[in-house]
């Protein structure tokens, strides 16, 4: 998948959907106001469910955020003296909240019931405390800061400075590490700030319920990709292959593909280079034409299924894949982790650099089988594997039926 498509899937598209959904909610507000009482209860249930599911699927950052938002909502709905007192510190809480949300964008998911959970709890306390400290410092040194500032600033601008910095940080983090969790955290910060600046545009219950739904969708979609996608290559996994089998008709062809001499290549150049080769080969296979669906079967083996196609119709498509991999040159650079023991080694490296970098190439062998009448998928796959074995015996880098 290209970086552009990856960004669209995990960054742009979720944000566009969120903005459209909130816009529709605002436009149709008159239609759902009769459900105010029910909507007011939704955050309690949805945020609790989101937190529980996030914990179950090891998305601790979303679990923490869901729980914090739940506490915030409880405080807003409660008439207890503790929470009503906090209403006097709205600016401090929103600045501290923005800092906490930004901090969750920078850390990794870790278990809550562990030392990591304690560190994250401490981070929440520190983040909220920084909101109070920032405004206390401004109140104390406001005149000096404005007088010594090289540009014309106001107290309001200085108040918003941490929020602006937080949004820029989380925004670029979500672009740089485009995934659904980071996009959800960016959305959380966006809705948090939206409620701060426009508290009367949409009810808090609607905003928090929307966030809880975003968390739930993020967890479910992430879990789906974890179960059905190979992490190294990004291709669909063997589990996804057998899921596809359930929807296949009676006519299809299946191809088994294997990287030639991959074990020897791994032993010669190392597993890091081997992983690079697997990713490159997978990227070439993913471009197969003819309606083929590509899966990583295991190790250096891949499977391509062509629904409603016979073997003669797919040979040219497979040949294109084989040739594209054979023609691709992989650049091997010197391992920078190698210890620099003496001047002779340095001189050798310098000479090597001047001579240019080394390139290698890999080839693949392919076995193809068409499903026969009364045959199961496993039987067709076994015949494709036998054809692959024949391609290996005949000299590799070829297709056998």
| CA distances for 165 relative to 117, 168, 385, angstroms | 26, 5, 56
Contact predicate 172/6, CB 8 Å: no
Q: Of residues 144, 300, 301, 375, which has the active-site annotation? A: 300
Establish whether 300 is a catalytic residue: yes
Token pair recorded at residue 398: 């070829």
User: How far from the centroid of its chain's Cα atoms is residue 197's Cα?
Assistant: 30
**Sign of the dihedral defined by the CA atoms of residues 234, 235, 238, 243, in that order:** positive
* Burial group, residue 256, by CB count within 10 angstroms (0-12, 13-18, 19+): buried
Strands 399-400 and 364-370 come out as parallel
Strands 293-298 and 301-307 come out as antiparallel
| CA distances for 215 relative to 49, 94, 164, angstroms | 10, 21, 24
Query: Hey, which residues are catalytic here?
Result: 300
């Amino acid at each position: 998948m290209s970086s552009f498509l990856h960004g669209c899937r995990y960054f742009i598209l979720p944000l566009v959907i969120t903005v459209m959904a909130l816009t529709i909610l605002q436009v149709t507000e008159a239609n759902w106001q009769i459900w105010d009482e029910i909507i007011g209860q939704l955050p309690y249930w949805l945020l609790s469910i989101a937190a529980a599911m996030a914990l179950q699927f090891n998305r601790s950052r979303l679990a923490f955020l869901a729980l914090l938002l739940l506490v915030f909502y409880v405080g807003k709905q409660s008439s207890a003296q503790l929470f009503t007192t906090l209403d006097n510190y709205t600016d401090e809480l929103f600045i501290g909240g923005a800092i906490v949300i930004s901090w969750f964008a920078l850390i990794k998911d870790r278990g809550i019931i562990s030392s990591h959970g304690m560190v994250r709890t401490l981070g929440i306390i520190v983040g909220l405390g920084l909101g109070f400290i920032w405004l206390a410092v401004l109140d104390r040194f406001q005149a000096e800061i404005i007088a010594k500032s090289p540009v014309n600033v106001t107290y309001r601008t200085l108040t918003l400075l941490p929020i602006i910095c937080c949004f820029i940080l989380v925004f670029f983090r979500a672009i740089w590490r485009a995934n659904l969790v980071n996009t959800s955290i960016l959305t959380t910060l966006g809705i948090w700030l939206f409620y701060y600046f426009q508290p009367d545009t949409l009810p808090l219950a609607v905003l928090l319920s929307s966030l809880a739904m975003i968390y739930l969708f993020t967890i479910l979609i992430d879990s789906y990709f974890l179960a059905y996608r190979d992490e190294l290559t990004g291709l669909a996994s063997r589990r996804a292959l057998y899921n596809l089998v359930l929807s296949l008709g009676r006519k299809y062809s299946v191809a088994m593909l294997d990287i030639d001499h991959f074990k020897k290549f791994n032993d010669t150049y190392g597993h890091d280079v081997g992983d690079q080769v697997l990713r490159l080969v997978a990227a070439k296979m993913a471009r197969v034409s003819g309606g083929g669906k590509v899966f990583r079967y295991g190790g250096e083996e891949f499977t391509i299924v062509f629904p409603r196609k016979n073997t003669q119709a797919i040979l040219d498509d497979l040949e294109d894949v084989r040739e594209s991999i054979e023609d691709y040159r992989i650049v091997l650079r010197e391992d920078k982790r190698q210890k620099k023991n003496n001047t002779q080694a340095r001189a050798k490296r310098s000479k090597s650099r001047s001579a240019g970098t080394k390139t290698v190439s890999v080839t693949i062998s392919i076995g193809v089988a068409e499903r026969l009448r009364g045959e199961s998928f496993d039987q067709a796959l076994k015949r494709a594997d036998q054809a692959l074995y024949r391609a290996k015996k005949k000299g590799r880098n070829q297709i056998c039926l």
